[in-house]
């Protein structure tokens, strides 16, 4: 004997649907009489072209079309029974979501009884929940197969949004395949680019290896799609995404501007971990690009306190483009940590003074920091912090001191590192996780704040998350 189980939604209300099974097939044929005429871009599809099992369409239509005079549909029950139809029903469910399969406004088997208002309002929400519940691989395969070379633009955008919201590492490749078939002339339209950017942003945000996927697909992605990808990439929390973005520089002016604007957003909210070769690319854009590109590059390099760029910024203070001159002034202010003045001569004098200080101080500071004397080490840390223009050098020195045997010295160093800025603090804070005392918790909290990442307080886990063990950061 089969064990008792709760009756399904259809079984409990079979009296209300006694004619449903017989009439639903007729409803499929007649559905076009009850819906607005489809647009020229979205021809309607028949159930026979979408599913092989003829019983799936009637069952699905019944679940989505309860009568207005029946009980209020229970969303959880409806979704559960739709999920029970399995992946075989996905093409039909996708067609409904894309507006390519007409659903009746009257309940099958109930004459002219209209469909329950809740079902009319919530059909699409139920179906989207079904797609989130079914195995992601099946959903992505169905979405990819649904997209044909002749698929209308509006339908392709719906497919892109559905792929972008699918919780799977494979979603990004499917989404890129769907978007890659959109003619390039449409990609510059805000209506199109905005929807693709949202879909890609949502997808990139939940795919841990998004930067690696985009890197692997780099040569296959249509050039016109890259600016949209670059804007969406700014939503990523992956520390490796900026490295991918820098690699895109130099293709064309529009993409350069977009890449630099995305990098600026990265720099505003977290660690921007770039190696010297990547900084060289940013400096090149800052020096030889048009004013909008120069401005964007200056904002990024300013956030990084790139002292090498100081002469370029000083030269741009008198540029005819007021916005570019202001970006250069802002970058210098970030580098100095204080206001020096408006005139290039004042900044020339400041940089000369700072360079002279470093030439005379670096050996002394190094000796003090590693002297084992807490008082002298504290003085060295304080002096480093008073000269933010040398945050990079300070970060390297302090990273060696986080493992000092004296916990007081190591504590002062760990507390000081975040004040250097994320780019210069993160390596040292990760190294501090190798300690076996309470400073591990302090370093982990600072890392979480600087990077917005949620990673276990272990040095190896953080190195892997940040890509610090890769050859790229050697």
Asked if residue 351 belongs to a domain, the reply is no
Return the pLDDT at 470: 54
- pLDDT at 5 (0 to 100): 47
Query: Is residue 86 included in any domain, yes or no?
Result: yes
Quote the distance between the C-alpha of residue 80 and its chain's center: 30
At 467 the pLDDT is: 83
State the residue for tokens 């977009």. Answer: 258
Residue 6 has pLDDT above 60, yes or no: no
Asked if the structure places residue 141 within a domain, the reply is no
**In this model, does residue 143 exceed pLDDT 70?**
yes
95 and 152 in a single domain? The answer is: no
Q: Is residue 329 part of a domain?
A: no
Q: Does residue 318 register a pLDDT over 80?
A: yes
Let me know whether 113 and 157 are in one domain.
no
pLDDT digits (tens, 9 = 90+) for 59-110: 999 999 999 999 999 999 999 999 999 999 999 999 999 999 989 889 998 8
The pLDDT confidence band at residue 18, using thresholds 50, 70 and 90, is very low
| Residues whose CB falls within 8 Å of the CB of residue 316, separated by 6 or more in sequence, listed in order | 294, 298, 324, 325, 327, 328
In a domain, 128, yes or no: yes
- pLDDT tens digits, 383-420: 999 999 999 999 999 999 999 999 999 999 999 999 99
Helix-then-strand count for the chain, H and E: 26, 0
Q: Do 81 and 126 belong together in one domain?
A: yes
Distance of alpha carbon 71 from alpha carbon 202, whole angstroms: 36
Does any domain span residue 350? no
Q: Give the residue with greater pLDDT, 47 vs 406.
A: 406
118 and 56 both lie in a single domain: yes
Within this chain, do residues 113 and 15 fall inside the same structural domain, yes or no? Answer: yes
Q: Are residues 127 and 22 in the same domain?
A: yes
Q: Is 80 exceeded by the pLDDT of residue 15?
A: no
Residues 427-449 have a mean pLDDT of 96
The total number of structural domains that make up the chain:
3
Whether residue 215 is found in the same domain as residue 251: yes
Reported as type and span, the H/E element at residue 425 is helix 422-432
pLDDT score recorded for residue 237 = 80
Domain check: are 101 and 161 in the same one? no
Domain annotation covers residue 337 = no
Among 133, 167, 194, residue at a domain's last position: 133
Q: What is the DSSP letter of 115?
A: B
In a domain, 406, yes or no: yes
- Note the pLDDT of residue 105: 84
**What is the overall mean pLDDT for the chain?**
88
Instruction: Using the predicted structure, report yes or no on whether residue 425 has a pLDDT greater than 50.
Output: yes
> Domain of 233?
148-304
- Going by the DSSP 8-state scheme, the letter that residue 114 receives in this structure is B
Full-model pTM: 0.79
Exposed/middle/buried for 200, CB within 10 Å: 0-12, 13-18, 19+?
buried
Q: What is the pLDDT of residue 14?
A: 47
Residue 215 shares a structural domain with residue 121: no
Confidence class of residue 270 from pLDDT cuts 50, 70 and 90? low
pLDDT of 57 reads: 93
Name residues whose C-beta falls within 8 Å of residue 19's C-beta, 6 or more positions apart in sequence.
Answer: 108, 109, 110
Least confident range of 16-20, 87-91, 312-316, 397-401: 16-20
pLDDT band, very low/low/confident/very high, at 235 (cuts 50, 70, 90):
confident
Are residues 196 and 65 part of one domain?
no
Answer yes or no: do 211 and 90 share one domain.
Answer: no
Residue 10: pLDDT above 70?
no
Amino acid 362: pLDDT? 96
Task: List the CATH number of the domain containing 284.
Answer: 1.25.10.10
How many other C-beta atoms are found inside a 10 Å radius of the C-beta of residue 183?
10
Counting Cβ atoms within 10 Å, is residue 105 exposed (0-12), middle (13-18) or buried (19+)?
middle
- Determine the average pLDDT of the residues in 267-291: 89
Residues above pLDDT 70, as percent of the chain: 89
Give the end of a domain, one of 90, 106, 133: 133
Are 89 and 204 members of one domain? no
- pLDDT tops 90 at residue 209: no
Last residue of some domain: 289, 304, 319?
A: 304
Q: Kindly indicate the confidence band of residue 162, based on its pLDDT and cuts at 50, 70 and 90.
A: very high
């Amino acid at each position: 004997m089969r064990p008792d189980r709760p009756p399904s939604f259809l079984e409990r209300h079979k009296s209300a649907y006694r004619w449903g099974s017989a009439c639903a097939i007729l409803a499929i044929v007649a559905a076009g009489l009850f819906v607005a005429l489809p647009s020229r871009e979205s021809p309607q599809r028949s159930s026979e072209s979408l599913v092989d099992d003829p019983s799936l369409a009637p069952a699905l239509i019944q679940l989505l079309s309860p009568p207005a005079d029946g009980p209020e549909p229970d969303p959880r029950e409806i979704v559960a029974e739709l999920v029970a139809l399995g992946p075989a029903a996905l093409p039909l469910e996708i067609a409904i979501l894309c507006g390519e399969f007409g659903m009746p406004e009257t309940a099958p088997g109930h004459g002219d009884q209209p469909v329950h208002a809740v079902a009319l309002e919530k059909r699409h929400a139920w179906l989207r929940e079904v797609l989130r519940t079914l195995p992601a691989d099946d959903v992505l395969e169905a979405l990819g197969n649904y997209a044909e070379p002749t698929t209308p633009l509006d339908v392709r955008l719906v497919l892109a949004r559905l792929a972008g919201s699918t919780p799977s590492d494979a979603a990004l490749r499917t989404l890129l395949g769907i978007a890659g078939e959109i003619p390039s002339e449409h990609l510059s339209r805000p209506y199109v680019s905005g929807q693709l950017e949202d879909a890609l942003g949502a997808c990139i945000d939940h795919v841990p290896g998004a930067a690696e996927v985009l890197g692997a697909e780099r040569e296959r992605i249509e050039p016109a799609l890259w600016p949209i990808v670059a804007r969406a990439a700014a939503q990523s929390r992956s520390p490796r995404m900026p490295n991918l973005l820098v690699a895109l520089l130099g293709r064309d002016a529009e993409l350069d501007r977009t890449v630099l604007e995305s990098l600026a957003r990265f720099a505003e909210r977290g660690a921007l971990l770039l190696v010297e070769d990547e900084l060289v690319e940013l400096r090149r854009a800052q020096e030889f690009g048009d004013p909008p590109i120069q401005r964007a590059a200056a904002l990024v390099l300013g956030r990084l306190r790139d002292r090498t760029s100081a002469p370029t910024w000083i030269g741009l203070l008198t540029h005819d483009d007021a916005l570019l001159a202001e970006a250069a002034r802002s970058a210098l202010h970030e580098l100095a940590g204080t206001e020096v003045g408006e005139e290039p001569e004042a900044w020339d004098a400041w940089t000369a003074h700072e360079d002279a200080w470093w030439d005379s101080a670096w050996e002394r500071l190094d000796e003090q920091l590693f002297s084992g004397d807490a008082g002298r080490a504290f003085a060295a840390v304080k002096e480093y912090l008073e000269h933010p223009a040398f945050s990079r050098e300070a970060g390297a020195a302090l990273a060696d001191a986080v493992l000092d045997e004296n916990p007081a010295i190591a504590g002062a160093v760990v507390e000081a590192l975040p004040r250097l800025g994320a780019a210069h603090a993160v390596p040292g804070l990760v190294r501090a996780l190798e300690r076996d005392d309470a400073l591990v918790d302090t370093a982990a909290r600072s890392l979480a704040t600087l990077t917005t990442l949620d990673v276990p307080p272990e040095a190896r886990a953080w190195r892997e998350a940040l890509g610090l063990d890769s050859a790229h950061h050697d």
